[in-house]
Structure 1
Amino acid sequence: MGDSHCEEKPVCSMCYVDYPNRKVFVRGLCEATYFDTEYFLNIGEDGRVMFLGYLNSVVFYNETLDEWHWFDRRYNQSWAVSASGLDSMLLGVNIFDFKNLKQDPCFKDGESTLRKIKFTTCVENQFTCNDGECIDIEQRCDQTPNCLDGSDEDNCRMIFQKDNYKKTVAPFRFDEKTQKVNPVSVNISILIKDILQIKEIDHTYTLKYAMIMEWYDYRLTYYNLKKTRSANALAATEIERIWIPFIVFENTEKNEATVSTTNTEVTITREGNFSITDNSIMEEINLFQGEDNRITFQEVYSKIFKCEYKLQLYPFDTQVCTVQIRVRELEKATINIIPDLIFMEGDTVLTQYIVPHWSLSYVNESAPDQGINMIIILQRRLINEIMTTYLPTTLILIIVYATNFFKPFFFEAVVTVNLTSLLVLTTLFISVSGSLPPTAYVKMVDAWLLFAQSVPFVEVLLHTFIDSMRLEERTVNHHGKSLQTKGKDKKINGNPSKILPWIDEQPKDAFYSKSTNVINPMLIARDEKAELNARKEYYESLTNSDYWIRIGEIIGKVMIPFVFLTFAAIYWGYGLSYFLATY
């Protein structure tokens, strides 16, 4: 049979190629082994498949025993055996028994002689599946089986720790030169999800938020980190093994702190370069150092925080509530918390407040160890108070003012309307005060309601005084019926008709006023001096009654609304100037 080119035959037993034969690498042997770790595939003249090491080792298939033999030509009486089949070509993961080795430095007395060894043709940045298939190492542990046998998703641990790792100790460093501790820096960010409840009476508010902490732990080594942070999430068992900052929320009732739960997310951000495990490790692993790759902790909390509500300017007030974030006293030397970012995800328009501003900053820039504060500004929505307090009181006061125009006949109705208005305003005052925390100071809403209560009170006194000035007989309303009131008896000095026969022909008002109780005929005396004195007495008497009625009407119709409008202008001007200037 003559020689022929491989291209001309569908099957050929052996071909010559003009490029180097592909190497076969061995992984899983200790560094001190006397076996070679690099081999070439070779087929002997008798057709037997064997792997020839670079120096002295040989691996061949013993067809008689149906097993692979691995020996070093320097130690012919020492070999290892694998029961893998010939069709596997020994590629991938195989179990070898090294019990026949003599003086092998990789095994200690009493140690199991069975070991998994990987023969692979994969190159750098590739992962060898258990069956010998090569895939991109980035596909290792990506939650999707990429090997035909699915072995790329086996043993997917993320972190490696030394035996002396202590999860209760922060990863600080000690500077030998300066003999000082360099604390670990922990960046803190807050994502505000919702303000669940505001209780002014209890001086508390309930906040739902996500706490995000970021730091580096140089004591850890990470395996096969992915470029996407979400793909580098630690398992719950791994989270329990690493150090997590213990941060205290100081303005909670029991000084609650950051704790990990079943919902805790801890991820690693791939930032630094990586190295590849050497051949003594069976699996190809990209190693990332902890000092170059950031740990991110995220947990959602719902906590009740204390907030001192300052209500002097209520309802024009703006409240400043905080979340006080602190480090325990014993860890202040080893942990340095740094305010980073703050985001608002929830609604900024609440039932009673709007949230115009939020921030995250140091308590004291010059003393970072005092901690940081998250500040939330709560600005009250005026429309609710306008609709429930100010508008009703204004309408009531308008009704009170309208009583100044009732006729004297309705004096009883005037008093009833004012007293009823006073009662309603008092009830409103008690209701508003009961909805707010008790304070030793007077709030602006208190000033408004107290002033409003004083108006009907003054009106009652004023109308009572005016009515007392009316001395003539008249008919008044009394519980829906007309009632005739009696004025004081009129005293007449002599009989005016006899003294002055034509007096009956004169208008009655020429001799006496409604407000006087004496009719003086000397008003028209022939004696000029007597007439002058009589007229003077008449006008004085007239002034003492009608003058005060007129003054009372001016106070009720002009002065009281003037005082109210002036008070309202000053009140709202001051309140709105503070309200609009705050934020």
Structure 2
Amino acid sequence: MKTDEIVRAVAVGIFCLVQSADNIRVLNFNPDGRQRGDTWIRYNVTVDLPRDYTLCVHFNIKVFRILTAVIYLFNARDQDDDPISFEVYFEKIRTKYGGYGRFYPLPSNLATNKWYHYCQVRDMKNGEGKVYLDGQLIIQDKANFETKFEPREIFIGQDEYQPRNSLSGKLSQVNVWGEALSPEMISQLAECEIDQEGNIVRWSGIWELNNVEQEDIPFDDLCRSVSHGAVTVLLPLLKFHEAVRVCRGVKGLIGVPWNTKDVQKELAYFKNNEDCERQWAGITDEDLEGVWYEPFTGKSYNTSEIFFRRNNPDGDKYQNCIRMNEKGLEDTDCQVRSCSACHTAAGTTWTLRGICEDEERMYYLDLIPDPLAFRGYGEYFIEQTNDSKWTWSNTVTNVTIATLHAKDLNYPIGRRTWAIQSEVCGESKGVRELTLSACTKSEFTCTDGSCIPFIKRCDLKFDCEDKTDESFCQIVNFPEDYRSKLPPRPASNEALALSINFTMDTLNVDTQTMMMSASYNLRITWFDNRLTYNNLKVLTRLNTLSLEQVDNLWRPKIGFINTDDIQNTAVDQDAVTTVLRHHSQYTPDLSNPYEVEIYRGDTNPISTTRKYFTIYTCNFDLVLYPFDIQKCVLQLQILSASTEYLVFDSTDSYVEYLGPRHLVEYGIGTINLSVENFTQYSMLKVEVELVRRYGYAMLNIYIPSFTLLVISYITLFFRPSIFDARVMTALTSLLVLATLFTQVSASLPKTSYFKVVDIWLLFCILLIFVIILFHTVIDLKIEYPDGWAPSEAVVPNFRTSKDSGVGGIDAGKRIGGSPSVKNVVTTVKVHPVEVDGYFDEPEGKGGFDFFRLKLPRLRNDADTYILASKWIVTIIFMVFNSIYWGTLALGSGLVYYV
């Protein structure tokens, strides 16, 4: 045997895996996390893969490389020809089926010290490649495989023997089947329900190992989703509150023994340490004497419930903390120094925030409990050196990056100041604030390392004891090239759309001046894709920007056009500017030690709200007054830029009215919003429909005028002989109506056209005038006694021809039924005899006889004129009102509320 073969035989072990029923053999690659090029295993024989196959493996990563080499099935003749492989990254995997392969993002980032089950299926019959992770199908690709069916070598743990890609972690159950396994069987393998080996490659087969460690673990441990159980961090001599702070920082708690067995178990952690003869128990009664509570959980107990040794507690209010003794618990001063055992869950991921790495894996670390240290997912390592200094170093380059500034509590947990010794994040030597925390993405790290829910970050109240949760709460991140004078430009290169929200509180309308005053909240919303935002809350008021940040923002300027003076929007101390969280997707900014969630500016808009009181001019058409429906328009125009750059968003803009619907003079009808983006500057119009409430006009104009009209009409029923009463009553009504007309006209704007109320009043005036004319004509047809005057005490008594048989005046009667005055001359007129309503004319004379019908002839007397006046006035009134009110019933405010 040659010398090199002997050396290789010594260095390389060849074994056949034999596992018991309860345990499974596991191979450990580079357990210290170092990068090596000579750590690998190889299947002892080449294999022939059929067209369809399934490759499965359980893997557990200790340190993530840029690329972690796991499994390669090389072409035995040419390793570069269509390899079949599986490579692990932190946030993705890379799978090659032979002739086809690609990167696949994972549902969530992988974690260290956690077992995963991976299966790769090539189904050439269906032209599909599938990947299963922990039994779940995460990838199903259609592919046209062109694999050459050549013998293959199976190589695990190395990629071309490059140390930087070497596997650091554990592997078990590498098996290959010559068929595409069913999803059900893959799920059973992932959940450890069955332990079936492959028919092409068997985990129990012969493997060649090089610098790989072996161990046996329970078979069920392969299927635990996370590292199970707890680990104990041993804390040296510390004051009680210091121990609590450190233990809380590692997300742990200090135990409270309840019996002798618990005490002995806790003391056993320090049995070989003479300085830690006594240990802290995690309980105190500082807040209320005799009431003991756990600072980690807040649970409280009475003294009788605590496992105190005999004659304890005996320190009263001067000794409020407890430490353990073999005989039980005893109270002591909280300022003395004792050791403590801090119990925390295994598998917790730690994050180092404040560094600026391109790869996310570099931010995460694992806790090593004894001695306390932190191993990175990547190349970083944080540990305490022999001189008690905490150092942050790179295990690949063996360079110390920073050392922790020494303080009273010398632990790197929480937000601490580090002295940078080599360049990091583009910064040279100096100091840098870093946060080492076990808090999850949904939690915020206080300075001492304790965690609070992230929703309490910047919520305007203190939740951390050090009050750092309300520090660095600026919301907007401005890029270096940000220009507040230039409007944002969307990625689509279209005009930026501004959304407008009108919320009207009150409206007041003055018809005389044709103006409407409005009190409203105007909210303008827009997107600025140049910005990013920090820690947006669901509750919008918590996303309010400071005035300093508002001053640096680009803000749209909108003018109120139809006002008497020049007015426009303002963003000042009376305005509230917020960022609206429309999308919950964010990117954690791990380079910020204060834990920031970054939200995009193109999906979360800015909104500014301010209250305005503006007087707008309106153009009222008063033709239908007081049954008119007016429309007053509030016109807004963008002043910041033309429509090429800024427009109003017609789909997302709206108006709402929250005030009373009935004003003194008007009722508020519909309120509409419209947008005009075709002009040079985009215009927005809010049209307010004003329906006049005509109750006032009815009470003060129509009913009084109608009453006067009725009074004037009633005068037609007065005795014809009392001319003065008839005329004076009608004339008085006319004068009152004219005065009412003048008052109504004075209360309205002067117009060049008639209003319907003018038509009504003019009609009433003209109708009364017609009544007065009728009174005059009737009076002319009345025949008074010769020498009679209206001032005399005697009033003639008129009768029709049917009453007396002749026209004329009977004996004069005194007013009030006095005896007749004698010697009154009576004039008798002779009329033709009326027969059945026709006048008898001599044959051959008089009217025209047509078919021997005789035409009627009206009498020319006072009775006829009185009857005619009544009917004519009634007909005029009815016809006018039918036309007048019928016209108003079509499209006026008369029937709006019906």
Q: Conserved in 1, the CA contact under 8 Å of 2:422 and 2:428?
A: no
Q: How far apart are the structure 2 equivalents of 1:271 and 1:476?
A: 96
How much does 1:333 deviate?
1.2
Residue 121 of structure 1 aligns with which residue?
438
Q: Conserved in 1, the CA contact under 8 Å of 2:375 and 2:381?
A: yes
Give the TM-score normalised by structure 2: 0.51
Residue 439 of structure 1 aligns with which residue?
751
Match of 2:473 among 147, 156, 181: 156
Look up the SS of the partner of 2:750 in the other structure.
coil
How much does 1:158 deviate?
1.0
Residue 356 of structure 1 aligns with which residue?
669
Q: How far apart are the structure 2 equivalents of 1:157 and 1:343?
A: 32
Q: How far apart are the structure 2 equivalents of 1:234 and 1:124?
A: 24
How much does 1:72 deviate?
5.1
Q: How far apart are the structure 2 equivalents of 1:119 and 1:182?
A: 45
Q: Conserved in 2, the CA contact under 8 Å of 1:191 and 1:342?
A: yes
Residue 11 of structure 1 aligns with which residue?
267
One-letter amino acid of the structure 2 residue matched with residue 442 of structure 1? F
Q: Do the aligned partners of residues 581 and 560 (structure 1) sit closer, same or farther apart at CA in structure 2, a change above 3 Å counting? A: closer
- Deviation track 1:325-349 (CA, whole Å, cap 9, x = no partner) reads 2223843211120233222211212
Residue 183 of structure 1 aligns with which residue?
495
Q: Conserved in 2, the CA contact under 8 Å of 1:324 and 1:373?
A: yes
Q: Conserved in 1, the CA contact under 8 Å of 2:648 and 2:675?
A: no
Residue 860 of structure 2 aligns with which residue?
547
Q: Conserved in 2, the CA contact under 8 Å of 1:316 and 1:576?
A: no
How much does 1:161 deviate?
0.7
Q: How far apart are the structure 1 equivalents of 2:491 and 2:435?
A: 41
Residue 567 of structure 1 aligns with which residue?
880
Q: Conserved in 2, the CA contact under 8 Å of 1:200 and 1:437?
A: yes
How much does 1:317 deviate?
1.3
Residue 82 of structure 1 aligns with which residue?
405
Q: Conserved in 2, the CA contact under 8 Å of 1:50 and 1:61?
A: no
Residue 611 of structure 2 aligns with which residue?
300
One-letter amino acid of the structure 1 residue matched with residue 412 of structure 2? L
Match of 2:773 among 461, 481, 491: 461
Q: Do the aligned partners of residues 326 and 19 (structure 1) sit closer, same or farther apart at CA in structure 2, a change above 3 Å counting? A: closer
Q: Conserved in 2, the CA contact under 8 Å of 1:475 and 1:483?
A: no
Q: Conserved in 1, the CA contact under 8 Å of 2:809 and 2:826?
A: no
Q: How far apart are the structure 2 equivalents of 1:214 and 1:447?
A: 50
How much does 1:440 deviate?
0.5
**Superposition pairs of residues 364-383 of structure 1, within 5 angstroms:** 370-383=682-695
How much does 1:391 deviate?
0.7
1:425 and 2:737 equivalent? yes
Match of 2:526 among 215, 219, 222: 215
One-letter amino acid of the structure 1 residue matched with residue 669 of structure 2? P
Residue 28 of structure 1 aligns with which residue?
354
One-letter amino acid of the structure 1 residue matched with residue 473 of structure 2? C
How much does 1:93 deviate?
2.0
Q: How far apart are the structure 1 equivalents of 2:509 and 2:344?
A: 81
Residue 539 of structure 2 aligns with which residue?
228
Look up the SS of the partner of 1:9 in the other structure.
helix
One-letter amino acid of the structure 2 residue matched with residue 238 of structure 1? Q
Q: Do the aligned partners of residues 82 and 51 (structure 1) sit closer, same or farther apart at CA in structure 2, a change above 3 Å counting? A: farther
Q: Conserved in 2, the CA contact under 8 Å of 1:188 and 1:341?
A: yes
Q: Do the aligned partners of residues 105 and 550 (structure 1) sit closer, same or farther apart at CA in structure 2, a change above 3 Å counting? A: closer
Q: How far apart are the structure 2 equivalents of 1:404 and 1:123?
A: 98
One-letter amino acid of the structure 1 residue matched with residue 267 of structure 2? V
Q: How far apart are the structure 1 equivalents of 2:714 and 2:447?
A: 97
Q: How far apart are the structure 1 equivalents of 2:593 and 2:342?
A: 32
How much does 1:19 deviate?
7.8
**Superposition pairs of residues 289-368 of structure 1, within 5 angstroms:** 289-328=600-639, 330-339=641-650, 340-363=653-676
One-letter amino acid of the structure 2 residue matched with residue 27 of structure 1? R
Q: Do the aligned partners of residues 521 and 103 (structure 1) sit closer, same or farther apart at CA in structure 2, a change above 3 Å counting? A: closer
Higher relative contact order (CA 8 A, sep 6+): 1
How much does 1:441 deviate?
0.6
Q: How far apart are the structure 2 equivalents of 1:16 and 1:427?
A: 99
How much does 1:12 deviate?
4.2
Q: Conserved in 2, the CA contact under 8 Å of 1:6 and 1:12?
A: no
Q: How far apart are the structure 2 equivalents of 1:149 and 1:18?
A: 23
Q: Conserved in 1, the CA contact under 8 Å of 2:708 and 2:733?
A: yes
**Superposition pairs of residues 268-279 of structure 1, within 5 angstroms:** 268-272=579-583, 273-278=585-590
How much does 1:287 deviate?
0.4
1:94 and 2:393 equivalent? no
- Deviation track 1:436-475 (CA, whole Å, cap 9, x = no partner) reads 1111111111011011111232333332333344443376
Look up the SS of the partner of 2:568 in the other structure.
coil
Report the count of equivalent residues.
514
Q: Do the aligned partners of residues 21 and 12 (structure 1) sit closer, same or farther apart at CA in structure 2, a change above 3 Å counting? A: farther
Look up the SS of the partner of 2:267 in the other structure.
coil
- Deviation track 1:267-292 (CA, whole Å, cap 9, x = no partner) reads 222233111113x3222111001011
Q: Do the aligned partners of residues 575 and 512 (structure 1) sit closer, same or farther apart at CA in structure 2, a change above 3 Å counting? A: closer
Look up the SS of the partner of 2:472 in the other structure.
coil
How much does 1:315 deviate?
1.7
- Deviation track 1:380-423 (CA, whole Å, cap 9, x = no partner) reads 22222111111111111111112222234532222221221111
Of stretches 245-254 and 440-449 in structure 1, the one that deviates more from structure 2 is 245-254
How much does 1:55 deviate?
5.2
Give the TM-score normalised by structure 1: 0.76
Consecutive unaligned residues in structure 2, runs of 5 or more = 1-259, 271-340, 797-803, 811-824, 832-840, 846-857
How much does 1:132 deviate?
1.0
Q: How far apart are the structure 2 equivalents of 1:231 and 1:521?
A: 105
Q: Conserved in 2, the CA contact under 8 Å of 1:318 and 1:379?
A: yes
Look up the SS of the partner of 1:348 in the other structure.
coil
Q: How far apart are the structure 1 equivalents of 2:807 and 2:443?
A: 124
1:247 and 2:570 equivalent? no
Look up the SS of the partner of 1:578 in the other structure.
coil
Residue 726 of structure 2 aligns with which residue?
414
- Deviation track 1:15-65 (CA, whole Å, cap 9, x = no partner) reads 899985756543334559xxx965745656xxxx666777576553888xx
Q: Do the aligned partners of residues 166 and 469 (structure 1) sit closer, same or farther apart at CA in structure 2, a change above 3 Å counting? A: same
Q: How far apart are the structure 2 equivalents of 1:16 and 1:363?
A: 68
Consecutive unaligned residues in structure 1, runs of 5 or more = 176-180, 487-508, 524-531, 537-544
Q: How far apart are the structure 1 equivalents of 2:402 and 2:579?
A: 44
Q: How far apart are the structure 2 equivalents of 1:134 and 1:463?
A: 102
Q: Work out the percentage of aligned pairs sharing the same amino acid.
A: 26
**Superposition pairs of residues 46-61 of structure 1, within 5 angstroms:** 59-60=383-384
1:396 and 2:708 equivalent? yes
